Structure 1
Amino acid sequence: MAEGQIRKAISGFYYVEYNGELIQCKSRGVFRLKKISPLVGDIVTYVPDGENDAIITDVHPRKSELVRPPIANVDQVLLVFSVVEPDMSLRLLDRFLTVIESHGLEPIIYVSKEDLANQQTLDANEINLAYYQKIGYTILRNVGNEEPLLEVLRPYFKDKTTVLAGQSGVGKSTLLNTILPELQLKTGVISDALGRGKHTTRHVELLEVAGGLVADTPGFSSLDFDHIEKEELRDYFREISEASVGCKFRGCLHVKEPGCAVKAQVDEGSISEGRYKNYLLFLQEIMDRKPRY
């Protein structure tokens, strides 16, 4: 009997890392009865079964769990957003941040393709990114930096399990290829007709990078709010959550309520009007959702 971590899962087999080796495992049939499905990232107990194989007998409690991509025990999300091709969408960025925050994960925003943008676009993005930095998000970039990309990311990867996410075509596979050339992942070609990238990643795998683990997955193929209640949404907008303690009513949704500290801060410009509008859009989406029984 031994303990290890599932590093990849392919066709019903789980590959568990133990002392620098990958052990090929199958899961016990009893898991299906209990509706437990081992995930990449899980810490598991396994027992040998024959000469080269093993059987997973227990899945340890998880500190986090994602459904799409199916992965457990993630610490943070490296959110790759390009300045151009495709253009940066702040609404989509806020959507990603909301979903990431709702899973209790730490987002890190990596800005790509700045070298392809004109000065006007760069100046506009600089103002927007300065606001995200002000409300507590880490912004990383590598333009004009003499350091290799891996050295820029190294302090953030160390001792963490990281998932890459972002709009299709922003350069997630390119980024992974840069920091792990031996992967030689196929870089998605942006479809001119659709204006978005084609998925090139097939299965979930944890790769050792810079003293941590990075998941080679498409990352957050679902960006809906099905798991979020309307009263919870404000908790996933950092500046709205902070300002809401000053609201007159405890259950304030920051829409039309009197004595709303959030709306006051929007009016005076300390909370971004664009972020607040995205909050209202997401709130309406949650309120329009069909009730679940």
Structure 2
Amino acid sequence: MTEGKIIKALSGFYYVLSDGKMVQCRGRGVFRKNKITPLVGDNVIFQAENDREGYIMEVKPRKNELVRPPIANIDQAILIFSSTEPEFSPLLLDRFLVNVESNEIQPIICITKADLLAENERTEVNSYLEYYRSIGYEVVLLSAKTEEGINELYPLLKSKTSVFAGQSGVGKSSLINALNPELQLKTDEISSHLGRGKHTTRHVELMEVREGLVADTPGFSSLDFTNIEAEDLAYAFPEISEKSEECKFRGCLHVNEPKCAVKTAVEKNEISRERYDHYLLFLQEIKERKPRY
């Protein structure tokens, strides 16, 4: 038996890369019985019937996994958001950041379509990006069309398994094409009626880009917090997590508690009021979700 990595899953088949060769595999029935679903990014043990076909016998332990998109063993998430068309959404970006942070995956923020920004719009977007940089995030403003900022992304991809994720229509496939023109991924224009992009990516697949592996993922526009508990939410906001160490009460949720260092920092503009409002919104969503049984 041989070890390899699943780089594509499609129609019940798993395409495993091993020693430079691609083997099309099916999962053994034991996976269904044990409720284990192989994911793109999984390191697996497989048994090859010939050079092209085989069966996955074992899924190796994962260091992390995402549900949407379904992928495992990710080093970093490149969160792709447009500066315009569709309009930049700090709220949606924070949803993605919380989801990625809670899975202990390193996020990198990429804002696309810089070439479409008017000067005043660029100033507004840059003000947001400077705040994210100030709390420790890697941020790149770029354009796949003019290749502005593309060179900044190259070294971040080397020797890493990265997932490209973000809102529909923000230019994920266009960006990957700019990074590796040989891929020629399909792209579509923004729907003028819906104000969002058409879903051009139908499955998750790892591709070789700039000496690393990159996953282009199906677009999606909403995230819930199914696997995050209320007391853990603050850890997904680096600036809130850091300041919470100064709160008087252990387990402070930074809402109504007295002598809360986070609320004081918000009042002093040390923590973004908008980010704090997003924290409160997400906290309420977590509290209101139906209990799991």
Contact 1:173 1:188 in 2 (8 A): no
Counterpart of 1:64 in structure 2: which amino acid? N
- When residues 233 and 54 of structure 1 are mapped into structure 2, their CA distance, relative to the original with a 3 A threshold, is same
- Structure 1: 5+ residue runs without aligned partners? none
Structure 1 residue 285 corresponds to structure 2 residue 285: yes
Q: Residue 268 of structure 1 corresponds to which residue in structure 2? A: 268
Alignment root-mean-square deviation, CA: 1.9
Distance verdict in 2 for CA 1:59–1:144, change over 3 Å: closer
Using the alignment, how far apart are the partners of 1:38 and 1:17 within structure 2?
Answer: 14
- Corresponding position: 1:29 with 2:33: no
Quote the Cα distance in structure 2 between the aligned partners of 1:144 and 1:34.
Answer: 43
Distance 2:68 2:125 in 1: 29
Separation (CA, whole Å) in 1 of partners of 2:145 and 2:168: 25
- Give the Å deviation of 1:219: 5.5
Pairwise mapping of residues 18-167 of structure 1 onto structure 2 (< 5 A)?
18-50=18-50, 52-142=52-142, 151-167=151-167
| Residue 50 of structure 1, CA deviation | 4.6
CA distance 1:144–1:223, shift in 2 (3 Å): closer
How far apart are the structure 2 equivalents of 1:147 and 1:188?
Answer: 19
What amino acid is aligned across from residue 13 of structure 1 in structure 2? F
**Match of residue 196 from structure 2:** 196
Asked if structure 2 preserves the Cα contact closer than 8 Å seen for 1:65 and 1:73, the reply is yes
Contact in 2 for aligned 1:68/1:222 (Cα 8 Å): no
Moved more, 182-191 or 268-277: 182-191
CA contact (8 A) 1:177 1:185 kept: yes
- The answer to whether the Cα contact below 8 Å between 1:164 and 1:219 also exists between their aligned partners in 2 is no
Tell me the alpha carbon deviations over residues 41-64 of structure 1, each in whole angstroms, 9 at most, x when there is no partner.
111111122564211111100011
Query: C-alpha distance in 2, partners of 1:86/1:111?
Result: 11
Partner Cα separation in structure 1 for residue 102 and residue 285 of structure 2: 16
Q: CA separation of 1:77/1:289 partners in 2, compared to 1, >3 Å: closer, same or farther?
A: same
Q: CA deviation at 1:11?
A: 1.6
Alignment partners' CA distance in 1, 2:186 and 2:268 = 48
Give 1:143 shift. 5.8
Q: Find the aligned partners of 1:89 and 1:33 in 2 and give their Cα distance.
A: 42
Aligned mates of 1:106, 1:81 — CA distance in 2: 16
Contact 1:6 1:42 in 2 (8 A): yes
SS in structure 2 of the partner of residue 140 of structure 1: strand
One-letter code aligned to 2:94: D
Shift of 1:188: 2.1
CA distance in structure 1 between the partners assigned to 2:28 and 2:121 by the alignment: 54
Would the aligned equivalents of 2:76 and 2:163 in 1 still touch at CA under 8 Å?
yes
- Deviation of 1:141 after TM superposition, in Å, equals 2.4
Q: Which amino acid aligns with 2:65?
A: E
- TM-score relative to the length of structure 2: 0.95
Q: 1:155/1:40 Cα in 2 relative to 1: closer, same or farther (>3 Å)?
A: same
**% identical aligned pairs:** 58
CA distance in 2, matches of 1:215, 1:181: 15
> Please, which moves more after superposition, 81-90 or 270-279?
81-90
Against the structure 1 CA distance between its residues 148 and 18, is the aligned structure 2 distance closer, same or farther, given a 3 Å change threshold?
farther
Aligned to 1:209: 209
Over 3 Å counting, the alpha-carbon distance change for 1:147 and 1:281 in structure 2 is closer
- TM-score, normalised to structure 1, is 0.95
Q: Deviations over 1:182-228 (max 9, x none)?
A: 22222122111110001011121110111110012125665101111
The offset of 1:147, in angstroms, is: 7.1
In the aligned structure 2, how far is the partner of 1:51 from the partner of 1:260? 62
Alpha-carbon separation, structure 1, partners of 2:81 and 2:184:
21
Q: Secondary structure at the match of 2:170?
A: coil
Count of aligned positions: 293
Q: Which moved more, 1:25-34 or 1:229-238?
A: 25-34
User: Which residues of 2 match residues 185-264 of structure 1 at below 5 A?
Assistant: 185-218=185-218, 223-264=223-264
